[in-house]
Amino acid sequence: MKESMNAKLELFVANTQRLKGKFIWRSSQLKQLAALLYATENRVLDYNAIQESLERIKRSTGAFSAFRGNSAISVSALLSLTENKEDQLSNTLAVYDMMKSSKFWSSDYLVVAAYQIAAGTTSENYQQTVNRAKAFYDGMKSKHRFITGQNDYIYAAMLGLSNIDITIGLARIEQLYTAFKPEFRSGDGVQALAQILVLSGEVEGVEARVFAIRDEFRKRGLRLDRENTIASLGVLSLLPVKYDKIVNDVEEAYRLLRTQKGFGSWSVAKQELLLLSAALVASDYLDDQDPTILSSLSTSITNIVIAQQTTIAAAAAASAAAAASSSSSS
């Protein structure tokens, strides 16, 4: 394993430990995500800065605002990593209102999508970007009504920020979906995978590369082709590295993290740990690249992981609520 990659893994573990006992009402997945956001920036986690950003959000929103939901820690971490925190939050709230006016539904996903747009373009382009995001979302919804939902808001925002022609982009998403769907069980995950690949432009042979990486993981008893991790296959397939090397590094990262305190099988599920490992490996490889070459992937990786982790956290919260309800009624 590269020295830089090992250092990034160690930083992630240390950042996670810095949140031990903090934000006690928040899920472990969301705290790990905050630690990851700092690690991908090669930064030591600053709990006080995150807490200050969280208080800033509370002062700017109502008690029942979606900004105080599952996305709160993620957005607080992102804000804490920016210079103009007040302006960034104000712009995010403005974009959020624009998106709601465009008939996006209020949710944790919409909060993150609004943050993406506010951070990804200038104020004069907000409305146009929101309109593009809605056009991409509605286009996907028209093709796949039952699998296109609020968890696609983040991907729609990324597409809205791109310079991809809407008609061409939607056609390419459908083409990739059709190619991948027979090979994967999850329709929702396949749509996310297709969106990631479209965001990164035309890459020759990418479909075959996705399958090769998937098969290599399977040989090692690791499955990255589950619903909440399929998009990671797309990220890894776009890295300018031999696929067996990529899989080796993700496996090494996974094995190393599993030995660390707080990352045992009772604390972190296998798919979650694979997702985190893949994100850290991809981040490290992108650090070595000319940012002008892979800027879209570099910008997208954080948003992709946020989308996946938010989905996992939301599912965990729903499961916990169902269990509590069942217990109280028995």
pLDDT-derived band at 201, boundaries 50, 70, 90: confident
DSSP code string of 75-116: HHHHHHTSS-HHHHHHHHHHHHHHHHHTTPPPSHHHHHHHHH
pLDDT in tens, 154-167: 999 999 999 999 99
Between 282 and 294, the more confident residue is 282
Task: Say if residue 328's pLDDT is above 70.
Answer: no
DSSP code string of 205-266: THHHHHHHHHHHHHHTT----STTTHHHHHHHHTSSS-HHHHHHHHHHHHHHHHTSTT-STT
Amino acid at 289: Q
pLDDT in tens, 88-133: 999 999 999 999 999 999 998 999 999 999 999 999 999 999 999 9
Number of C-beta neighbours around residue 148 at 10 A: 21
* Residue 187: closest CA among 148, 142, 159, 223: 148
Query: To the nearest whole percent, how much of the chain has pLDDT over 90?
Result: 66
Spatial separation of the C-alpha atoms in residues 2 and 241, rounded to whole Å: 13
CB 126 within 8 A of CB 98: yes
Q: What pLDDT, on a 0 to 100 scale, did the predictor assign at position 293?
A: 46
Number of C-beta neighbours around residue 78 at 10 A: 24
Task: Say if residue 191's pLDDT is above 50.
Answer: yes
DSSP code string of 173-197: HHHHHHHHGGG-S-HHHHHHHHHHH
* Residue 68: closest CA among 30, 98, 118, 32: 30
Task: Say if residue 321's pLDDT is above 60.
Answer: no
What mean pLDDT do residues 138-157 have? Answer: 94
Q: What pLDDT, on a 0 to 100 scale, did the predictor assign at position 166?
A: 97
Question: What is the three-class DSSP state of 293?
Answer: coil
Q: What pLDDT, on a 0 to 100 scale, did the predictor assign at position 151?
A: 87
Spatial separation of the C-alpha atoms in residues 124 and 130, rounded to whole Å: 11
Q: What is the pTM of this model?
A: 0.91
pLDDT-derived band at 205, boundaries 50, 70, 90: confident
Task: Say if residue 60's pLDDT is above 50.
Answer: yes
CB 89 within 8 A of CB 56: yes
Where in the chain are the domains? 90-314
Tokens of 261: 């305190």
Lowest mean pLDDT across 158-162, 259-263, 264-268, 322-326? 322-326
CA angle 54, 55, 56 (to 5 degrees): 90
Half-sphere exposure of 218 (CA within 13 A, CB side): 11
Amino acid at 37: L
Q: What pLDDT, on a 0 to 100 scale, did the predictor assign at position 67?
A: 95
Widest CA span in the chain:
59
Q: What pLDDT, on a 0 to 100 scale, did the predictor assign at position 24?
A: 86
Between 75 and 204, the more confident residue is 75
CB 96 within 8 A of CB 110: yes
Spatial separation of the C-alpha atoms in residues 299 and 4, rounded to whole Å: 20
Number of C-beta neighbours around residue 49 at 10 A: 17
Between 197 and 125, the more confident residue is 125
Q: What pLDDT, on a 0 to 100 scale, did the predictor assign at position 323?
A: 52
Task: Say if residue 137's pLDDT is above 80.
Answer: yes
How long is the chain? 330
* Residue 9: closest CA among 197, 278, 270: 278
What mean pLDDT do residues 15-36 have? Answer: 90
